[in-house]
Amino acid sequence: MTSTELIKTIEEFCMLNTSEENILKYNRYFKENVDMYGLTAPQIHGKVSELKKNKGLTFDIVLEAAGVLIERPKSEEVTFALLLVNGFGKQFTKPVFREIERWYSISITNWAHADTLGMLILPDFFKYNIININDFDSWLTSNYKFQRRSVPVALIKYLKMNKTINFTSVFEYVEPLLLDKDREVHQGTGWFLREAWKIKNKETEMFLMKWKNEVPRLIIQYATEKMSKEEKMNYKRVSQL
């Protein structure tokens, strides 16, 4: 299989399964209008599984095809690119990380794609010791909100990979995102803090207490979601007279 054949196969599958009904249905989940074919998640994941069974499908072919699919306007073609790249973590390199970094300026423009990267793909760069947390430095101030969102989302698995990690230093690392202007970043940061609390609640609670009067309430809402009603009361904003 060549990258051209892979792209053609994906194109034909997407066109064959276009659904206007699903386009209307799925766009309700996004703040921005998403250009899509209307494929279901089972359709996409099923096709990806089928493609990956092809013994001629190499990471080089996938990466070459992904470079083309990422440029496409349709959401599902980008999704195919991401899901095909996922699973090749052992072959990831620093140049692959830089290539993925570039994708945010092209078509990573919704939470679904950003979280696919953050939850499935980016953690493998940590797993195989290709990057360290400081490789996300420029992402914290990126012009692209979904690139900023991907940092805390990727750090969720980073924390879970090594329980000896100094949580306080990781919390300090994400501090630039606490006062971010975009809701999507608030959601990702709150999600990260909620997962951190499940692992080390005391350290997370100290951090939340430090910032509770300054951060957007959505971060607190997400971060305290699994706490009891009484615990949540500790993070109410204190009025400044």
Rounded-to-integer distance, Cα 22 and Cα 39, Å: 7
Residue 239: its pLDDT value, please? 66
The two tokens of residue 201 are 């609640």
pLDDT tens figures, 53-88: 998 999 999 999 999 999 999 999 999 999 999 989
Give the burial string for 36-74 (b: 16+ CB within 10 Å, else e): bbbbeeebbeebbeebeeeeebebebbbbbbeebbebeb
Residue 33: its pLDDT value, please? 86
Say which residue the tokens 């950003």 belong to.
114
The two tokens of residue 240 are 């400044």
For the chain, residues with pLDDT lower than 70 are 239-241
Rounded-to-integer distance, Cα 104 and Cα 84, Å: 17
Residue 241: its pLDDT value, please? 45
For the chain, list the domains and their CATH numbers. 1-85 (no CATH), 117-236 (1.25.10.90)
Residue 148 identity: R
Give the burial string for 113-147 (b: 16+ CB within 10 Å, else e): bbbbbbebbbbbbbeeebbebebbeebbebebbbb
Task: Specify whether the CB–CB gap between 170 and 158 falls below 8 A.
Answer: yes
Distance of CA 74 to CAs 39, 112, 139, 227, Å? 11, 13, 25, 39
Cα-based angle 192, 188, 127 (whole degrees, multiple of 5): 55
